[in-house]
């Protein structure tokens, strides 16, 4: 069963990186629902992915390997307010220094 996806929340990809869901859209040709999200690392690259794929369950062998049930899993947030410490480099690109929630406390 696929999980619900929430706008303006942080998700962890099964390979370990964190992403922020910023919106939803529809493909103009197929009308497929899409998730718009951006990375919380490096240059904050923006991505789109079909909603069904974003929230899908991983195959059992990947669940065992990565210890995660879904491709992207919601990160629980204390009071719904994660701590995200950011900085910019000389080029003005954003960089995440730290993400802290109830479940994680990651320094980059």
For 64, counting Cβ atoms within 10 Å of its Cβ (0-12 exposed, 13-18 middle, 19+ buried), the class is: exposed
Q: Where along the chain do its domains lie?
A: 10-107
Rounded average pLDDT over 10-15: 91
Could you read off the pLDDT of 50-97 as tens digits, one per residue?
Answer: 999 999 999 999 999 999 999 999 886 555 555 556 566 666 665 666
Across the beta sheet with 105-107, the strand order is 83-88, 94-100, 105-107
- Of all residues in the chain, what percent carry a pLDDT higher than 70? 68
Confidence of residue 42 (pLDDT cuts 50, 70, 90): confident
The CATH fold of domain 10-107: SH3 type barrels. (2.30.30)
Q: What is the CA radius of gyration of the chain?
A: 15
Whole-model pTM: value is 0.71
For 105, counting Cβ atoms within 10 Å of its Cβ (0-12 exposed, 13-18 middle, 19+ buried), the class is: exposed
């Amino acid at each position: 069963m696929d999980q619900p996806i929430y706008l303006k929340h942080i998700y962890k990809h099964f390979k370990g990186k964190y992403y922020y869901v910023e919106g939803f859209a529809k493909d103009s040709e197929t009308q497929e629902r899409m998730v718009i999200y951006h990375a919380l690392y490096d240059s904050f690259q923006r991505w789109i992915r079909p909603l069904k794929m974003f929230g899908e369950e991983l195959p059992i062998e990947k669940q065992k390997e990565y210890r995660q049930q879904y491709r992207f899993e919601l990160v629980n947030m204390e009071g719904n307010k994660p701590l995200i410490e950011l900085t910019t480099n000389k080029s003005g690109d954003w960089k995440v220094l730290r993400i802290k929630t109830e479940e994680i406390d990651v320094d980059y």
